[in-house]
Amino acid sequence: MSDPGRDLAIYDMDRTITRRPTYTLFLLHCAIRRAPWRLLFVPLVAGSMLAYLARLIDRGELKQINHRLLLGRTIHQRNLQPLVDSFADAQIRSNIRPGALKAIFRDKAQGRRLVLATASYRLYSQAIAERLGFDDVIATHSIIGLDEHLHALIDGENCYGPAKLRMIAAWVKKSGLLDKHGHVRFYSDHVSDAPVFEWSDEPVAVNPHGKLERLAKQRSWAVEDWG
């Protein structure tokens, strides 16, 4: 039997809750408002993406490179927070799928604990999650120095693929839910989340691309169109 007090609803964010990916949008948002001259580096950002597609760098390295180019090597958190808040507000206004809002409302009404599990940086995904009513966030962390400056370096793993499942497992243990949580419903748009889909009790493929759509059909997973 499910336990509404301990049941979980875990959501991916980019292209699941949001219509468009948020990472590059966030960096451009910061560059435009804080240092427009950094837009001169946009061709280098495009070059780093080509390097990733050519498998010369991994996703974590791609993030760190683009962070340095568009936001700088370090930034004090007091200077970053207004950028985070304005970006999160903009995403809520124009980048949230209607179906995501309905699912979040439904899961909340069912008493589920809402968890955002995303490869995006926690530094801004936390703000988006709070505005949507989430209880917890599992995301990619950045290194923050003793001087409260955020660095263009990932702290730990990039929360993507198998690493996302490891980070969810670590969160479950840290939250005191190991062998205690109830039914787990998981939503994502991308096949890279296959490990979490397989682990969850109720996988839901949201607006899936081709590979995930085929996998969902093979596994008889639910498929939803969130518009």
Where exactly are the structural domains of the chain?
8-224
pLDDT in tens, 104-119: 999 999 999 999 999 9
Helix, strand, coil share (%) of the chain residues, nearest 5: 50, 20, 30
pLDDT band at 3 (very low <50, low <70, confident <90, very high): low
Residue 169 burial (CB < 10 Å; 0-12/13-18/19+)?
A: middle
**Mean pLDDT across the chain:** 96
Residue 24 burial (CB < 10 Å; 0-12/13-18/19+)?
A: middle
| CA 28/CA 9 separation, integer angstroms | 31
Residue 4 has pLDDT above 70, yes or no: no
pTM of the model: 0.94
| CA 21/CA 160 separation, integer angstroms | 14
62 in Cβ contact with 52 (< 8 Å): yes
127 in Cβ contact with 88 (< 8 Å): yes
pLDDT in tens, 66-114: 999 999 999 999 999 999 999 999 999 999 999 999 999 999 999 999 9
At 6 the pLDDT is 87
Kindly state the DSSP code that residue 222 receives in the 8-state scheme: E
pLDDT band at 1 (very low <50, low <70, confident <90, very high): very low
Kindly report the CATH number that applies to the domain delimited by 8-224: 3.40.50.1000
**CB-based contacts of 162: which residues, under 8 Å, 6+ apart?**
195
